[in-house]
Amino acid sequence: MQSSQFTGSSLSLTSQMVKWILRKRTKSRIQAAEISFLRRVAGLTRRDGVEMFRHMLGKTLGLFGYTIQYGCIAHCAFEYIGEFVVCSGPSMEPTIVNHDVVFSERMSRHLFKIEKGDIVIAKSPFDPQMNICKRVIGLEGDKICTSSPSDLFKTHTYVPMGHVWLEGDNLRNSTDSRNYGPIPYALIRGRVCWKLWPLHSFGTMSETPMKHIIKAQRDSDSD
């Protein structure tokens, strides 16, 4: 009787051990599967992060490259083609009045095609941050009358090499070469060729007022 009870207890113990071992193995397998799954997810997340970083980096570099390209194109356009200029001040009245918008082309400057009578945009000899709009009255070597029409004795000066003589069309209200002398050709930024605004004045700039050219030529021939 005692012997059979012992045998039954042994079988029960063995069965419990087998169940415990099976549970352990199952748990281990589940943990291994979870770990494997988490590793795969981590690997995918890492790869996705790298791909996303590469994608964003490529987009950023592409945008930076386009910005540089368009910046270079804009620089070349403004430097060699021309620019729009809003004029202010009374010195070029009545040809150009306050708030007129004109187009200043650059090719004539680079090709040294600036001529007497052209209206130009130039850097102010007093303030490099400010532009002036004046008419070319004399080129290098030209003789310019610097006295007013009412003066009894006329005074003259010659435009030195590499310089131009500028005056405003509104002689009574213009600060120009009569005040600061001839300016270096290098200060010229462009030649005004079109008036864009106001619309009723749209078109090419008017021809040189003959009184300026006649004055310069007459003074040059009289000596």
> Which pLDDT belongs to residue 220?
45
Q: Cα–chain-centroid distance for residue 179?
A: 34
Averaged pLDDT for residues 4-32: 58
| Gap between the Cα atoms of 58 and 63, Å rounded | 9
Q: What is the DSSP letter of 99?
A: T
What stretches of 77-176 show up as alpha helix (H) in DSSP?
Answer: 107-110
For the cut 70, the answer to whether the pLDDT of residue 1 exceeds it is no
Q: Which of these is catalytic: 134, 174, 177, 195?
A: 134
91 part of the active site: yes
| Gap between the Cα atoms of 188 and 60, Å rounded | 39
Each residue's pLDDT tens digit, 133-169 = 999 999 999 998 887 767 777 788 899 999 999 999 9
Give the list of residues 6+ apart from residue 86 with CB closer than 8 angstroms, or none. 99, 100, 101
Each residue's pLDDT tens digit, 88-135 = 889 998 889 989 999 999 888 888 889 999 999 999 988 888 999 999
What are the backbone angles phi and psi of residue 112, rounded to the nearest 5°? 55, 45
116 part of the active site: no
**Model confidence pTM above 0.85:** no
Each residue's pLDDT tens digit, 187-210 = 999 999 989 988 888 888 755 554
Out of 38-47, 67-76, 203-212, give the one with best mean pLDDT: 67-76
Q: Which of these is catalytic: 91, 108, 174, 177?
A: 91
